[in-house]
Chains A and B, each alone.
Chain A
Amino acid sequence: GENVEQHPSTLSVQEGDSAVIKCTYSDSASNYFPWYKQELGKRPQLIIDIRSNVGEKKDQRIAVTLNKTAKHFSLHITETQPEDSAVYFCAASTGQAGTALIFGKGTTLSVSS
């Protein structure tokens, strides 16, 4: 089955710096790659997603890139702010009905001012 590896497990940056979180997946049939942000004690919140027919997607300060050949995708946050501090999860799915999102183990991002 699918396996998703996520790195780094923790990331500390200064406010205004960029942050990059990387994930690799094993199942070449996976075609949907969402990113979730989870603040302490709260629900995972979908922040951006990308499908395998697209190489890059941007939404304001957040971007995701996908390299299907290498089976990896990355989250880029620019101009980080203290409110970006949270746990970020990547996930992968084949998109078929009844299939799961397979999550990475998460990255704890700390943005200090």
Chain B
Amino acid sequence: ETGVTQSPTHLIKTRGQQVTLRCSSQSGHNTVSWYQQALGQGPQFIFQYYREEENGRGNFPPRFSGLQFPNYSSELNVNALELDDSALYLCASSLVGATDTQYFGPGTRLTVL
């Protein structure tokens, strides 16, 4: 098992609400990437954070935003939730200079009703 942790494990929200998901990276890792995994699909890249700045972004609207803190932990915020946002949200940590070697957390299962 990796040292990447996420909270909460499960979350149920209603359409239009806002949600914040949290991720603690593996010890020594300074880069965090977030992915959305819909049922039966591979993970899709949302964005990556390094040195508290967004360092790359996938094809997700601006209502998906994030933060990285000085201890390298990270948050994913989603505003104005839509039914299609229901998915498993995964964070992955890595080392700068080796950001492609990513280790995933257990994920947060978000259900939007």
Contact = CB atoms under 8 A, between A and B. Distances in A.
B43 A89 contact: yes
Contact of A100 (B33, B101, B105): B33
Interface in B31-78: 33, 35, 40-45, 48, 50, 55-56, 58
Q: Which of A46, A98, A102 has the most CB of B within 10 A?
A: A98
B7 interface: no
Contact of A99 (B40, B43, B56): B56
A101 B50 contact: no
Contacts of A70: none
Q: Is the interface of B mostly helix, strand, loop or mixed?
A: strand
A43 B48 contact: no
Contacts of B111: none
B90 A95 contact: no
Interface residues of A, number: 25
Contacts, number: 69
Given A32-B100, A43-B90, A101 B105 contact: no
Contacts of A102: 45
B96 interface: yes
Contacts of B104: 36, 43-46
Interface in A64-113: 89, 91, 93, 95, 97-106
B91 to A, nearest CB: 10
Interface of A: 4, 6, 32, 34, 36, 42-46, 49, 89, 91, 93, 95, 97-106
